[in-house]
Structure formats: structure tokens, C-alpha cells
Amino acid sequence: MLCEFSEFCVDRCSLQASNSVNSAQFGRSICSLWEECVMNWSRLALAAVAAWIVDSVYGFAVYAKALESEFARYPGVFRPMDVVNGNLPLMFAGSLLAFFALAYIFAKGHEGGNGLAEGLRFGFVLAVFEFGAISIGNYGVMNIGRKIACETAVAGFVEALISGAVLGLVYQPAALAKTMRA
């Protein structure tokens, strides 16, 4: 689906096409110009860091505090909190890396609509994916009860919606960001 600012990109691509005689070069030009119009690398990085910070706070409040006692009921499955705390630098680094990848996926699928709506749509799709691939899979493989399986599934679903919303609120495609500054 073409986004609302696609005319700007199409006009630039048409100009490039009129100056180009090589069709292969034209095809590459269209792709690079379209990506240039759509991808906003600085906003992508900002969105990734913002979502990572919000997710880290959410993770602390939900997983480290609200669900701590439930995790403690399964010492054969989950590490004790003092050991988890020792692994926080590794967890934060891995999570930041994941949010850069997630922000990139979000930006590639951005359709040019309202940022919050785009983010919530993305977050919902991510939440459904996580529910099916992670929550149900974990319950099937880990020796955990239904209560904690449901609690972590709901927490993960909400977490994905929040992450998508933050990405949507912070990220703006390059052409849209330029239009808003003008």
C-alpha cells in the first residue's frame, strides 16, 4: 500500500527515470529513492531507544515485581532474582539489540498513517505472534502451571501493544518528518 507521501517519492523517481536510459539502473534508483523517502534512520534509532526504555520499565514493574512471587514457585524453571539481577546488563543489551531490529521492521511496514494507530496495529500483530510462538510454546515446553502461563501471556501481549504504540508515536518516515518541520 502506498502511503500518503508516496507522491513526493514517485515525483522524485519519475524525475530520475526521465534522466536515465538504463532500465536496470532505473529499477535500482526507484528502490533506493523510495527507501530514502520512507526510512528515517535517526527517528528509527530514537524510536528503538524510547521503546527499549519504556519496555525496561514495564518489564521491571511486571516481571520483576508483580510476577516475582509466581516465578519463585518454579525454581527449576526460572533463576532466582539475585541471579537475574546479575544478568541485567546482558538482558538490557539483548533487549536493546532486539528493539533496533523491531524498530526497523516497524519502519519497513509503516504505511504513512497516524503514528499511534500504525504502532498499535504493529503491536497487535507482534502480540499475536508472541502469543502463538512464545507463550503457547513456553507452556507446552516448560514445566509451569496455567496461572503463570496466562499471566505471562497477558503481560507479553500488553507489552507488545505498548512497544508498538511507542514505536508509532516516536518514529516518523523521512518525508513525513520533513513535511512536519516545514
Same domain? For 73 and 120 the reply is yes
34 pLDDT higher than 80: no
Nearest-angstrom CA–CA distance, 90 and 63: 16
Same domain? For 117 and 171 the reply is yes
Same domain? For 16 and 96 the reply is no
Q: Does an H or E element contain 144, and which?
A: none
> For the chain, how many structural domains are there in total?
2
Same domain? For 22 and 73 the reply is no
Q: Where are the alpha helices (DSSP H) in the chain?
A: 6-18, 23-38, 41-59, 68-72, 81-86, 88-109, 115-130, 136-141, 146-170, 174-181
**What's the pTM value of the predicted model, to 2 decimals?**
0.77
- Which residue matches cell numbers 513526493? 8
Q: Residue 180: left (phi > 0), alpha (psi -120 to 50), or beta?
A: alpha
pLDDT digits (tens, 9 = 90+) for 149-174: 999 999 999 999 999 999 999 998 88
The residue-averaged pLDDT of 116-125 equals 97
- pLDDT class for 50, splitting at 50, 70, 90? very high
- Look over the chain and give the mean of its residue pLDDT values, rounded to a whole number: 84
Amino acid at 88: L
Same domain? For 77 and 122 the reply is yes
- Which residue matches cell numbers 522524485? 12
* DSSP structural state of residue 113: S
Range of the domain at 31: 1-38
